[in-house]
Chains A and B, each alone.
Chain A
Amino acid sequence: MRVLVTGLGTFWGARLAAALERRDDVETIVGVDRHEPPLPLERTEFVKCDSDFSIMHRIVQATQVDTIVHTHLAVDSTQVSSSTLHEINVIGTMNLLAAAGAAESPVRRMVVKSSTLVYGSTFRDPYFFREDTPRRRSPRTPVERSLVDVESYVRDFAEDNPHIGVTLLRFANVLGNDIDSPLVRLLRLPLVPEILGFDPRVQFVHEEDVIGALVYASTSEAPGVFNVAGEGTLPWSEVCAIVGKRRVPLPPLLTGLAVAPLARLGVVELPPEVIDLLRFGRGVDTTRLRRHGYRYRYTSAGAVQAFAEGLRLRSTIGDSRPTYRYQRDLENFFRHSPAVAREESS
């Protein structure tokens, strides 16, 4: 297998490449991003390129990859402006799909990392979205809009290229010790915000299961759309209880206005999609991926528990992870210099 990973400079891209490196059936891993990988990687080749992937066509042709894993979709609207969001998600995906679907393209499998944000969160929602349940209201926030656009391109792509197996994975809110997301930042606060009078059902997927599902989808025949989330939902109050945090209520009316000063002060930023989630929650049905054969390591509650344990450890020993800085010359030396003794791969 020859795999191309987009977003190698992001948390997920680098993690996925590291996981793929451990597999013998993955012969070559090429990673593209504008930023350098945040993790030390053994044999992944890093190609620096623009986030709109305009030269993707040449990279695909040159490397003859058969599988593309598209992890480079921004879902955290507090970290990027809405125009960058559009550029990364919509334009980036369009160029990537164009390259993958070009004549004589060697690509036979495509995995896209989407989010359950595409379902939205309203009071009319079914309690568990299935993969084919449409969302109840048209998207309001830039991040939801861009993801809905991306998914429609991916669907068209799958239809136009029946010879390519296209997998669309929709991940629930991720919890883990290393990941940084709006909800994780909320739960790290000494007092966790809630909306007064609302105790929504939320669902989580552990970061290990995110990588696990991405590896699973890129190494097996699993075309179609799949929700990826830990089993079960739990109320927000219970999440806070497991993490061991007190809650602080936000006003149920004009919540957006009330949290704006918090963002100004740098306490915490609550984007509209997170406010919706804290009001109405979201649950997704996870049967399809489990029936297909993926075994989850964590339930929703289990993911919260693991996150809480990580928080407690960190509060004792501090953030002890080694910092890594990518150095091109060094990486090239280890990979390509004749002076480095390597095992000959047959």
Chain B
Amino acid sequence: MLARVARAPESRFPLRVSESGSDRPSLLRRSLAERAERAGHPSTGGPGPSRSLVPVGSDDLVDQGPAPPSPRRSDVDGFGRSERMRSLVRRVYDPVYRHWFRAEWEGFEHIPTEGGALLVANHAGALPPDAPVIMHGIESELGRPVYGLAEDLFRTVPFVGTLWSRAGGVVASPENAYRLLHDDGQLALVFPEGDKGPGKLYKERYQLRRFGRGGFVEIAMRAGVPVVPIAVVGAEEAMPIIYKDRRLAKLLGLPYFPITPTMLLMGPIGITAYLPAKFRLRVLPPVHFDVPPDQERYSRGRVMEEAERIRDHIQQALYEMLRARRSVWFG
């Protein structure tokens, strides 16, 4: 069942953000406006007066009536994300989400409707389809932007890097995550398995890898936000890896070089084709850490313990979901 969460329908802060999209853009706009309003330091240079209202040591700016129109010409925020681009991506991706993967959620009410939270999920598939599915689902249901933290691999590739960041990709670094979660109060999605998750072979499917060194727990503690675990079933079968070539991976500087069934059928272009596996996602209850935020350091043992517990929750949820699953393709 797709849990729909009731939200206020109208935006009181009309901003010049895209009107298009099959989702509810007014809610996205609202959350953007809230972010722009946040007193701290909004990462958008965008909508708002171009000059501070109280000028220093000068008299030529006082009392000019209403603030001048914003000089901004695009809606690209401090993380390189553009809501207009996101909404376009969502429009293109929506049929894939609905009709190809037929994604279904449970426990959607566990996703906070406001404030920062770190979404943590299992990661799978040669070219992981789980990130777009999670981002698409939450953004179209809740109207909240989700930033996808990922490796910096893409940033050096022309066009791809730009497109990736316009569509909500952010380089996974403690600084970026802290800023998103703590300063901007956003939802950030992270896969603690890193490339070890997608890089596993088909026969190892749904066996969670190590959750790094628990860095994600430390960030959440420091930012004072909960971790929301999400278990994803379907990504493993959407693009399984049947063989990995070490030498090619090394040559190309990639974490792994996969051979997928679609690649066997279609050649290299097969890396862009997903099998129509049924996606089921289960959001687990948020984990709050009972520690003060902004500490210099947190107990290594505690961090590892929490990371392991979250990993175990997701693993158990996956086993449960797999027990209930009758068919890979029909769920």
In the bound complex, do residue A232 and residue B74 qualify as a contact, i.e. CB atoms below 8 Å apart? Answer: no
User: For residues 72 through 88 of chain B, which have their beta carbon under 8 Å from a beta carbon of chain A?
Assistant: 72-74, 76, 78-80
In the bound complex, do residue B161 and residue A198 qualify as a contact, i.e. CB atoms below 8 Å apart? Answer: yes
How many Å from the CB of A274 to the closest CB on chain B? 18
Interface stretch (choices B167-175, B196-204, B273-281) = B167-175
In the bound complex, do residue B50 and residue A252 qualify as a contact, i.e. CB atoms below 8 Å apart? Answer: no
Contact indicator per residue, chain B 151-168, by CB within 8 Å of chain A (1) or not (0):
010011111111000000
Contact indicator per residue, chain B 40-83, by CB within 8 Å of chain A (1) or not (0):
11111110101110111110010000000011111010111000
Q: Which residues of B contact A304 (CB under 8 A)?
A: 71
In the bound complex, do residue B46 and residue A280 qualify as a contact, i.e. CB atoms below 8 Å apart? Answer: no
How many Å from the CB of A201 to the closest CB on chain B? 6
Whether A301 contacts B70 in the complex (CB less than 8 A), given A123-B152, A212-B56, A232-B43, comes out as: yes
How many Å from the CB of A126 to the closest CB on chain B? 3
Interface stretch (choices A32-40, A174-182, A292-300) = A292-300
How many Å from the CB of B215 to the closest CB on chain A? 14
Q: Which of A127, A199, A230, A299 contacts B79 (CB under 8 A)?
A: A127
User: For residues 117 through 161 of chain B, which have their beta carbon under 8 Å from a beta carbon of chain A?
Assistant: 152, 155-161
In the bound complex, do residue A123 and residue B155 qualify as a contact, i.e. CB atoms below 8 Å apart? Answer: yes
**Is A186 part of the binding interface, using a Cβ–Cβ cutoff of 8 Å?**
no
A62 vs B67: C-alpha distance when bound (angstroms): 49
In the bound complex, do residue A301 and residue B46 qualify as a contact, i.e. CB atoms below 8 Å apart? Answer: yes
A124 vs B170: C-alpha distance when bound (angstroms): 11
How many Å from the CB of A207 to the closest CB on chain B? 13
**Is B179 part of the binding interface, using a Cβ–Cβ cutoff of 8 Å?**
yes
Q: Which residues of A contact B45 (CB under 8 A)?
A: 203, 230-234, 299-301
Q: Which residues of B contact A294 (CB under 8 A)?
A: 56
User: For residues 25 through 50 of chain B, which have their beta carbon under 8 Å from a beta carbon of chain A?
Assistant: 40-46, 48, 50
Most chain-A Cβ atoms within 10 A of its Cβ — which of B43, B52, B79, B152?
A: B52
Whether A197 contacts B159 in the complex (CB less than 8 A), given A126-B173, A301-B46, A304-B71, comes out as: yes
Interface stretch (choices A110-118, A161-169, A236-244) = A236-244
Q: Which residues of A contact B50 (CB under 8 A)?
A: 298-299, 301-302, 305
Interface stretch (choices A50-58, A263-271, A282-290, A311-319) = A282-290
Chain A interface size, under 10 / 10 to 19 / 20 to 34 / 35 or more: 35 or more
Whether A130 contacts B175 in the complex (CB less than 8 A), given A212-B57, A232-B46, A297-B58, comes out as: yes
Could you list which residues of chain B lie within 8 angstroms of chain A, going by C-beta atoms? 40-46, 48, 50-52, 54-58, 61, 70-74, 76, 78-80, 152, 155-162, 170-171, 173, 175-176, 179
Contact indicator per residue, chain A 167-203, by CB within 8 Å of chain B (1) or not (0):
0000000000000000000000000000111110101
Instruction: Offer 22 A-B interface pairs, CB within 8 angstroms, sorted by A.
Output: A124-B173, A127-B170, A127-B171, A127-B175, A129-B175, A195-B158, A197-B158, A198-B158, A198-B161, A216-B56, A232-B78, A234-B76, A242-B71, A287-B41, A295-B55, A295-B56, A296-B52, A298-B51, A298-B52, A301-B50, A302-B51, A305-B50
Q: Which residues of B contact A333 (CB under 8 A)?
A: none
**Is A133 part of the binding interface, using a Cβ–Cβ cutoff of 8 Å?**
yes
How many Å from the CB of A97 to the closest CB on chain B? 29
- Chain A's closest residue to B44 (CB) is A232
- Chain A's closest residue to B179 (CB) is A128
Q: Which of B48, B73, B176 contacts A126 (CB under 8 A)?
A: B176
In the bound complex, do residue B78 and residue A305 qualify as a contact, i.e. CB atoms below 8 Å apart? Answer: no
A295 vs B152: C-alpha distance when bound (angstroms): 35
A230 vs B61: C-alpha distance when bound (angstroms): 17
Q: Which residues of B contact A300 (CB under 8 A)?
A: 45
**Is A223 part of the binding interface, using a Cβ–Cβ cutoff of 8 Å?**
no
**Is A235 part of the binding interface, using a Cβ–Cβ cutoff of 8 Å?**
yes
In the bound complex, do residue A283 and residue B52 qualify as a contact, i.e. CB atoms below 8 Å apart? Answer: no
In the bound complex, do residue B74 and residue A133 qualify as a contact, i.e. CB atoms below 8 Å apart? Answer: no
Contact indicator per residue, chain A 244-284, by CB within 8 Å of chain B (1) or not (0):
00000000100000000000000000000000000010010
Q: Which residues of A contact B171 (CB under 8 A)?
A: 123-127
Q: Which residues of A contact B58 (CB under 8 A)?
A: 297
Q: Which residues of B contact A285 (CB under 8 A)?
A: 41, 179
In the bound complex, do residue A198 and residue B162 qualify as a contact, i.e. CB atoms below 8 Å apart? Answer: yes
How many Å from the CB of B52 to the closest CB on chain A? 5
Whether A127 contacts B80 in the complex (CB less than 8 A), given A232-B46, A241-B73, comes out as: yes
Q: Which residues of B contact A280 (CB under 8 A)?
A: 155
How many Å from the CB of B150 to the closest CB on chain A? 12
- Chain A's closest residue to B80 (CB) is A201
- Chain B's closest residue to A251 (CB) is B158
A sample of 11 more A-B contacts (CB under 8 A), given A234-B74, A299-B50, is: A123-B171, A127-B171, A231-B45, A235-B74, A242-B71, A287-B40, A296-B52, A297-B55, A299-B51, A301-B71, A302-B51
How many Å from the CB of B86 to the closest CB on chain A? 15
In the bound complex, do residue B155 and residue A290 qualify as a contact, i.e. CB atoms below 8 Å apart? Answer: no
In the bound complex, do residue B41 and residue A286 qualify as a contact, i.e. CB atoms below 8 Å apart? Answer: yes
Whether A201 contacts B41 in the complex (CB less than 8 A), given A212-B56, A301-B50, comes out as: no
In the bound complex, do residue B176 and residue A237 qualify as a contact, i.e. CB atoms below 8 Å apart? Answer: no
Q: Which residues of B contact A201 (CB under 8 A)?
A: 76, 78, 80
- Chain A's closest residue to B72 (CB) is A301
Most chain-B Cβ atoms within 10 A of its Cβ — which of A212, A216, A233?
A: A233
- Chain A's closest residue to B50 (CB) is A302
Q: Which residues of B contact A126 (CB under 8 A)?
A: 171, 173, 175-176, 179
Q: Which residues of A contact B80 (CB under 8 A)?
A: 127, 201, 235
How many Å from the CB of B162 to the closest CB on chain A? 5
Most chain-A Cβ atoms within 10 A of its Cβ — which of B55, B158, B161, B162?
A: B158
Q: Which residues of A contact B70 (CB under 8 A)?
A: 301
- Chain B's closest residue to A232 (CB) is B45
How many Å from the CB of B84 to the closest CB on chain A? 12
In the bound complex, do residue B52 and residue A295 qualify as a contact, i.e. CB atoms below 8 Å apart? Answer: yes
- Chain B's closest residue to A196 (CB) is B158
